[in-house]
A and B are shown apart, each in its own frame.
Chain A
Amino acid sequence: MNRDDFEILKKNIIYFDNGATTLKPNVVRDSILKYYDEYTANAHRGDYKTSAIVDNLYEEAREKVCKFINAKEKSEIVFTSGTTNSMNMIIFGYFKNYLKEGDEVLITLSEHASNIVPWFMLEKEIGIKVNYIDLDDKHEVSIDNVKKAITDKTKVISIAMTTNVVGDTRPIKEISKIAHDNNILMVVDAAQAVAHNKVDVQDMDIDFMAFSGHKMYGPTGTGVLYGKFDLLDKVTPFNYGGGMNAMFTKNGYVELREIPTRLEGGTPNIEGVLGLSEAISYIEDIGIDKINKYEKELRKYLISELDKLDFIDVYNKEVDTNIVAFNIKGVFAQDTAVYLDKYNICVRAGNHCAKILDNELNISNTVRISLSFYNNKEEIDLLINVLKNSENIWKEIL
């Protein structure tokens, strides 16, 4: 649905790599152009009209994000460059000060690198311990396994809302409840979730949450860090300098501004944030529940069609999201991706930045299809046809 909203879809591509980045609707592009053509100015800086326009739009964007994820107040929303940036900001700006040697952080084997590598670095730096919540037979997180993994030293549970290879969506609200009952903080990587599911940080009682703009129809280089006010207020800034200080004197006295401005030192990615703002409006205009329903139905169709092909292994048949991981039997994932590319079908091959998941899946590399609302059954039929002819794969790609 809504295919006409995307100029790029006129270019005869079948884009199935929405987990990597989504396409950008024309309205997002237009909002960025408008910033260039009509009111280029810095935010929070000038006294002239265009500067005031930018100021308002920038803070409006914050308001929109706040409502979109149902944060309590807009000061809990920090604009970042993406999920990785957001995760690093809290892991090194908050948890480095809050955690002590021997404290335990729980993650899972199916996390994205941005929710693993910074924790490993912190483990080396201050001696915390990174432990894993076991995944069940379907590579999913069960409440029982969360309970089993918790010890009296567990201080943080840091997991994705939706994972980027298996595509399972975790019961965040229930896990948060268990976490808080045990004085554990709940950190959520929502990068793969926000464009596909309704996310409510208050209802789910999330302490910190990170996500990217470009995976939700917005520009690259944009992201969000959400934190409950009292926690976010304790995050040490990464960037000291302009925009984030209230005053400083020649003898070294520095007073910093309030959050979230304090955590956004330097000129922000203004056009990106304005684009993200437009992307949120765009998603809301269609309706996240409508998107969710459509994508799930489309996925069911894709799975039912793939199921008819006995030379295809699907690794995550039962999950209820937009992601399908598969291989053509006996063909390396990358070769399948190159083959599909011959037909302008864009898929991702690889370990999808979840390099430790192969311990769990016993396969290192898969072809991943991640659907969006602009995909449709006709595209899936084309894909299936191309896969049906894949006995010719070597002839086609060599």
Chain B
Amino acid sequence: MDRNLKRSIILDNYQNANKKYISDGEEFTKINTRNVSCIDNLDIYIDLEDNIIKDISFEGEACVISISSTNILINLLIGKSKEDALYLIDNYLKMINEEEYDKEVLKELLVFDDTSKQPSRIKCATLTANGIKKFLENN
């Protein structure tokens, strides 16, 4: 993907993150990503019903990579079954870790395909993915 296009997708999801708000309905479970990072601090709100991710949103303070990857990931996960969501997340993590992965499911997340070139950003790009993965595996 062209560098400029990548940048504009990342920036758009950072500056105009459509899923960046608090969801405080009873159906939502809140998970926090602070435990794995000193600086990024995102709350993720997930509504998982009958094995389907009905909705997710997030709120908090974090870097451009964290927020943008969170927003893109969340938009892709909404409406997916738990299994499909886990498949997508696993492939995303494989991409970040430079392993073989299924490109088809990642869509806009492909803008992060060269994150591994900036090792300090790997944690930022995977914060939310790991948090949601853990939640899905335990619920």
Q: Which residues of A contact B64 (CB under 8 A)?
A: 332, 335, 394, 397-398
Q: Is B6 a contact partner of A398 (Cβ separation < 8 A)?
A: yes
Which of A349, A353, A394 gathers most chain B CB within 10 Å? A394
Q: Is A338 a contact partner of B61 (Cβ separation < 8 A)?
A: no
- Tell me if A365 counts as interface (CB < 8 A to partner B): yes
Cα distance, A393 to B38, chains bound together (Å): 23
Q: Is B11 a contact partner of A351 (Cβ separation < 8 A)?
A: no
Contacts A/B (CB < 8 Å), 6 sampled: A334-B124, A350-B38, A351-B39, A394-B11, A394-B64, A398-B11
Q: Is B39 a contact partner of A350 (Cβ separation < 8 A)?
A: yes
- Tell me if A148 counts as interface (CB < 8 A to partner B): no
Q: Which residues of A contact B (CB under 8 A)?
A: 332-335, 338, 341, 349-351, 353, 364-365, 394-395, 397-398
How far in angstroms is the closest Cβ of chain B from A335? Answer: 5
**Residues 47-79 of B contacting A (Cβ, < 8 Å):** 61-64
- Tell me if B133 counts as interface (CB < 8 A to partner A): no
Q: Which residues of A contact B94 (CB under 8 A)?
A: none
What mask results when residues 4 to 22 of chain B are scored 1 for a CB within 8 Å of chain A, else 0? Answer: 0011001100000000000
What mask results when residues 100 to 139 of chain B are scored 1 for a CB within 8 Å of chain A, else 0? Answer: 0000000000000000001011001000000000000000
Contact of A398 among B10, B39, B62 (CB under 8 A): B10
Which of B40, B63, B121 gathers most chain A CB within 10 Å? B63
How many of chain B's residues have a CB under 8 angstroms from any CB in A? Answer: 16
Q: Is A349 a contact partner of B39 (Cβ separation < 8 A)?
A: yes
Q: Which residues of B contact A364 (CB under 8 A)?
A: 41, 61
Cα distance, A395 to B6, chains bound together (Å): 11
Q: Which residues of B contact A351 (CB under 8 A)?
A: 38-39
Cα distance, A128 to B11, chains bound together (Å): 49
How far in angstroms is the closest Cβ of chain B from A154? Answer: 32
Cα distance, A73 to B7, chains bound together (Å): 62
Q: Which residues of B contact A (CB under 8 A)?
A: 6-7, 10-11, 38-41, 61-64, 118, 120-121, 124
- Given the known interface contacts A332-B62, A332-B64, A397-B64, the answer about A365 and B39 at a Cβ–Cβ threshold of 8 Å is yes
Q: Is A332 a contact partner of B7 (Cβ separation < 8 A)?
A: no
Contact of B121 among A333, A338, A349, A350 (CB under 8 A): A338
- Given the known interface contacts A338-B121, A398-B10, the answer about A332 and B61 at a Cβ–Cβ threshold of 8 Å is yes
| Chain B: CB-nearest residue to A393 | B64
Q: Which residues of B contact A397 (CB under 8 A)?
A: 64
The 7 A-B pairs with the shortest beta carbon distances in the complex, nearest first, are A334-B63, A350-B39, A398-B7, A332-B63, A335-B63, A335-B64, A398-B10
How far in angstroms is the closest Cβ of chain B from A361? Answer: 13
Q: Is B120 a contact partner of A338 (Cβ separation < 8 A)?
A: yes
| Chain B: CB-nearest residue to A336 | B63
How far in angstroms is the closest Cβ of chain B from A237? Answer: 32
Q: Which residues of B contact A350 (CB under 8 A)?
A: 38-39
| Chain B: CB-nearest residue to A397 | B64
List 9 other contacts, CB 8 Å, given A332-B61, A332-B63, A338-B121.
Answer: A332-B64, A334-B63, A334-B124, A338-B63, A338-B118, A349-B39, A350-B38, A351-B39, A398-B6
How far in angstroms is the closest Cβ of chain A from B14? Answer: 9
- Given the known interface contacts A365-B61, A394-B64, A397-B64, the answer about A333 and B7 at a Cβ–Cβ threshold of 8 Å is no
Cα distance, A338 to B121, chains bound together (Å): 9
Cα distance, A332 to B11, chains bound together (Å): 13
Cα distance, A395 to B10, chains bound together (Å): 11
How far in angstroms is the closest Cβ of chain B from A359? Answer: 14
How far in angstroms is the closest Cβ of chain A from B18? Answer: 19
Cα distance, A341 to B61, chains bound together (Å): 21
Cα distance, A397 to B61, chains bound together (Å): 18
Cα distance, A162 to B10, chains bound together (Å): 39
Q: Which residues of A contact B38 (CB under 8 A)?
A: 350-351, 353
| Chain B: CB-nearest residue to A331 | B64
Cα distance, A351 to B62, chains bound together (Å): 12
Q: Which residues of B contact A335 (CB under 8 A)?
A: 63-64
Q: Which residues of A contact B118 (CB under 8 A)?
A: 338
Q: Is B7 a contact partner of A334 (Cβ separation < 8 A)?
A: no
| Chain B: CB-nearest residue to A334 | B63
